[in-house]
A and B are shown apart, each in its own frame.
Chain A
Amino acid sequence: MVYLTRKCEFSASHYYHNPEFSEEENRRVFGKCANLNGHGHNYTLEVTVKGEVDAKTGFVVDLKELKEILNCEVLDAMDHRHLNKEVPEFRDRIPTTENLAIAIWKRLESKLKVAQLHRVRVYELPDLFVDFYGES
């Protein structure tokens, strides 16, 4: 079993706001992130897949194929977008880095045919990242 990680970057805006909370509670729980005018980040995404190395190609996964899936499922959908307003997963879910990692996992899992998805790591900042390893 070999693990392969592909990295890409995207930039997006978001805010954290739960309509079930009072304004005061939103500010207390989410701090500056509750500002409804939003703010943005340069996100770094690391996608790790695993599998046996194919005897003929020497690949765990066709990188071109993986790149196309990442472009289509993540970058086209999220790069230079407002996560709350333009990404359907966040119509009724807060676009925290935790939920973003889960949403990206779900988008990729169904598209990857050859290798198995092992980990989705999303950096919101160089000093903050979330790992998701699938349902549990």
Chain B
Amino acid sequence: MKAHLTRRYIFSASHRLHCDELSEAQNREAYGKCNNPHGHGHNYALEVTVSGQVDAKTGMVCNLADLDGTVGGEVLNRFDHVNLNQCAEFEAMVPTTENLSEVIFHILKQKFKAAHLERVRLEETAMNSFEYCGD
């Protein structure tokens, strides 16, 4: 039987939303306070949902230690306590939480093979969150 398992992780990072192709005025208009040149930060809450058949012997969709290991090694190590704008992934992309959700989804899709990756959900604050389920 197929079940969906969701695990939640916390990381903290800073960013500045700014697009070089837009004028200063357009950037301010599009991104508001998030365009502040010195950047700002968030405590992000990441929810990773995987699915699969429940193994008859273990009762598990996948081993949580494996999921924690991959998310820890590939996502939290990369994005916790960093400035997202300085990360290679955002050299040519604005580090909005939409884009960050997509980046994290693609990293995990490539690195985590023990169950099917269903969804990445990212809370930027308690008031807004973004989901990406692949294209």
Contact = CB atoms under 8 A, between A and B. Distances in A.
Nearest to B4: A131
Interface residues of B, number: 19
A128 B58 contact: no
Contacts of A127: 7-9
A131 B3 contact: yes
B59 to A, nearest CB: 3
Given A29-B63, A127-B8, A128-B64, A20 B3 contact: no
A135 B5 contact: no
A96 B61 CA distance: 10
B52 to A, nearest CB: 9
B1 interface: yes
B126 interface: no
Contact of A98 (B8, B61, B65): B61
Contact of B58 (A96, A101, A129, A131): A96
B98 to A, nearest CB: 23
Interface of A: 16, 18, 20-21, 29-31, 93-99, 101-102, 126-133, 135-136
19 contacts: A16-B58, A29-B58, A29-B63, A93-B59, A96-B54, A96-B59, A127-B7, A127-B8, A127-B9, A128-B5, A128-B7, A128-B8, A130-B4, A130-B5, A131-B5, A131-B6, A132-B1, A133-B4, A135-B1
